[in-house]
Amino acid sequence: MLRRTGAETKQEILNAATRLFSDYGYRGTSLADIAHEIGYSKASVLYHFASKEALLAELIAPAAADLRALLARVSTLPLAQARKCAIEGYVDLTITHKETVAVLQTEEPLLPQDLHFQLYERLVGVLQGEDHNAQARVAAIMVVVGIAAACTERSDLTPEQLKPALVAVALRALGLPADSPPG
């Protein structure tokens, strides 16, 4: 029998949790469900993760880190360029972390408010730009939520088809020209 490393076991647990959280929700999935999915005991899962909350935190950590990096990158750019770069980067991030985004769409209230506020509000702020009216804010929110929804929708579109379509629609929704400076 091939023995797994601790890192491999931990990743297997994260993968199973992602699938189950995505299918049944965070609240609808127990640690025992996750353990059963991969043929381990609940104690084995708890050996690698102190709690279900810790498992969720580790599951979202890579996507959150990528979003922080994107926001740092766009913060140094002129506004028009930052907005386009933020759209392109957010589309890439959402496609890359599709399963995590699917979990976050249904489980967002479980996230620490500071994490949600810090990242979500910063992204919406970049996309909103200098226009501080209700329409600009709603458009920015719709772009963020719409990109996430489109990326996690079980469709027949490949990432190569999805990315340019999402970028074009997001630019149009924000009133930005398709030929604005590249990110």
DSSP labels, 22-37: HHH-STT--HHHHHHH
Question: Does residue 111 or residue 180 have the better pLDDT?
Answer: 111
Same domain, 66 and 24: no
Same domain, 128 and 161: yes
Distance (Å) of CA 38 to CA 3, 16, 45: 14, 7, 10
Same domain, 160 and 88: yes
Task: Tell me the CATH number at 22.
Answer: 1.10.10.60
Same domain, 145 and 72: yes
Number of domains in the chain: 2
User: Where do we find the tokens 């601790």?
Assistant: 6
Same domain, 13 and 42: yes
116-145 pLDDT tens trace: 668 888 999 999 999 889 999 999 999 999
Write the CB contacts of 57 (distance below 8 Å, at least 6 apart in sequence): none
Same domain, 97 and 134: yes
User: Where do we find the tokens 């997001």?
Assistant: 170
Q: 147 lies in a domain?
A: yes
Same domain, 64 and 45: no
Q: Is residue 126 packed enough to be buried (19+ CB in 10 Å), middle (13-18) or exposed (0-12)?
A: buried
58-109 pLDDT tens trace: 998 898 899 999 999 999 999 989 999 999 999 999 999 988 888 887 766 5
Same domain, 42 and 69: no
- Please give the model's pTM, rounded to 2 decimal places: 0.84
Domain limits at 124?
Answer: 60-173
2-52 pLDDT tens trace: 566 778 899 999 999 999 988 888 889 999 999 999 999 999 999 999 999
At 117 the pLDDT is 63
Same domain, 43 and 83: no
144-182 pLDDT tens trace: 999 998 988 767 888 899 999 999 999 999 999 876 444
Write the CB contacts of 103 (distance below 8 Å, at least 6 apart in sequence): 18, 21, 22, 26, 56, 59, 60
